[in-house]
Amino acid sequence: MSKITINTKTIPMLDLKAQHGPLNEEIKSALKDILDSSRFILGPNVSSFEKEVASYHNVSGAVGLGSGTDALYLSLRALDIKEGDEVITTPFTFFATAEAITYVGATPVFVDIDRQTLNIDPSKIEEKVTSKTRAIIVVHLFGQPADMDEIMSIAGKHGLKVVEDSAQAFGAKYKGRPVGSIGDAGCFSFYPSKNLGAYGDGGMLITDKPEISEKVKLLRNHGTTGPYQHSFIGYNSRLDEIQAAILRIKLRHLDTYNQKRRDIASLYTSMLGGAVQCPVEKQDIVHVYHQYTFRTNRRAEVEKDLHDNHVSAVVYYPIPLHLQVAFKYLGYREGALPEAEAAAREVLSIPIYPELEPEDARMIAGVILKTLKK
């Protein structure tokens, strides 16, 4: 087999240095203010950032938390989901989505995915609803909004709560509404590699239901209802002032960053359309391409040629959650969720970030096309 070499410059999955460069001075000055004030926990930056995120999503409540995983966990706590309950979710996501369900003692129930969107397939949800089902956690995977109308209607019919794991989709829209604002609660992660990334861990829960935001505000701070008064067992999960200050600066650029990701994605799709199965954009949605993930049954060859050309390419995710060792106790077998298993065999994610040069994106697509012509 001939070796393709077109490129010699290393192209990472994500270039955070390129993003931080232009913001450095502004961020340094915000950090200096925090050091001078010495307020590090639950101060003015966290409360301002919460207001800004709530307003961005047109909801009444936003609560800054320690991580996206905590946002998922605390949303389930606030919805009073507990041992003996079942929570429906997708097997094709980052591990934390289902992990959070186990933190409250509930059981994850996996529903297969839609081949086109890679998100939970609404037509397969109802057959998994039992008398124990209490909620659905939908994931807007890779920045692609899930089919919220269908999911909300099933949830309404069966009296289920809906939590949106929007960790990969800050700024994505479903029929004009930002994801995270449609279900009972939306969960975000500010892990550095996310579309809106901090300089450390961070997360947020948004909701239009005051009873949920009030509960999560207490939960994140040990259930504290007054000085050294604890009405229930809480937790320690607070976004800190330093991360909030950085995120406030980056939030102002987020829509521009997301548009740049969308521009790169459309360049990729225009070049790769006939050769691989590109991400779809359904009508009336805005996909924010946390990842650009396509499918091909010649993945190993494509991956190898990209790596030979110093282009990063990663399989998100190689093992669906129902086949993870940690979830063996749930009793799923191989073949149980065939679409998720097929996706795990065929998907490949290639570099996409706001600062990626269009000429590099063209070169990357060129390598893939050359491989597939071999």
Q: Which residues pair with 165 in a beta bridge?
A: 139, 187
Name beta bridge partners: 226. 229
Contact yes or no for 129/171 (Cβ under 8 A): no
Under rule CB under 6 A, residue 139 binds ligand PLP: yes
Q: Is residue 361 close enough to count as binding ligand PLP by CB under 6 A?
A: no
Binding piece for ligand PLP, criterion CB under 6 A, among 84-92, 113-121, 160-168, 361-369: 160-168
The amino acid that residue 369 corresponds to is L
Number of residues that bind ligand PLP (CB under 6 A): 15
Strand partners, 11: 311
- The set of residues, in sequence order, having a beta carbon less than 8 Å from that of 144 and lying 6+ positions away, is 117, 118, 119, 169, 172, 279, 285, 287
Residue 91 binds to ligand PLP (criterion: CB under 6 A): no
Q: Is 75 in the site for ligand PLP (CB under 6 A)?
A: no
Distance CA 30, CA 12 (A): 29
- Closest residue to ligand PLP, based on beta-carbon distance: 68
- In total, the chain counts a number of residues equal to 374
What's the min distance (Å) between Cβ of 228 and ligand PLP? 29
Contact between 90 and ligand PLP (CB under 6 A)?
no
The answer to whether residue 117 forms part of the interface with ligand PLP (CB under 6 A) is: no
Only one of the segments 62-70, 74-82, 250-258, 278-286 lies at the binding site for ligand PLP (rule: CB under 6 A); that segment is 62-70
Neighbours of 290 (CB within 10 A): 27
Per CB under 6 A, 203 contacts ligand PLP: yes
311, 364 contact by CB (below 8 A): yes
Torsion, Cα of 255, 174, 199, 294 (10° steps): -100
Q: Quick count: other Cβ atoms within 10 Å of Cβ 262?
A: 18
Nearer to ligand PLP, 168 or 296 (CB): 168
Report residue 298 as tokens: 């010649």
Q: Does position 320 bind ligand PLP by CB under 6 A?
A: no
- The verdict on 237 binding ligand PLP (CB under 6 A) reads no
What value, to the nearest 5°, has the Cα angle with vertex 19 and ends 13 and 21? 135
| Residue 114 backbone zone (phi > 0: left; psi -120 to 50: alpha; other: beta) | beta
Q: Per CB under 6 A, which of residues 244..273 are in contact with ligand PLP? A: none
Q: Which is nearer to ligand PLP, 201 or 240 (CB)?
A: 201
Minimum separation from the CB atom of position 196 to ligand PLP (A): 11
| Binding flag, residue 142, ligand PLP (CB under 6 A) | no
When binding is defined by CB under 6 A, the residue of 45, 117, 168, 237 that contacts ligand PLP is 168
Minimum Å distance from CB 189 to ligand PLP? 3
Query: How many other β-carbons are positioned within 10 Å of the β-carbon of residue 137?
Result: 26
Nearer to ligand PLP, 88 or 139 (CB): 139
> Is 97 among the residues that bind ligand PLP (CB under 6 A)?
yes
Among positions 34, 45, 57, 67, the unique one binding ligand PLP when judged by CB under 6 A: 67
User: Residue 88: which of 62, 69, 107 has the closest Cα?
Assistant: 107
Q: Which residues of the chain form contacts with ligand PLP (CB under 6 A)?
A: 67-69, 93-94, 96-97, 139, 165, 167-168, 189, 191, 201, 203
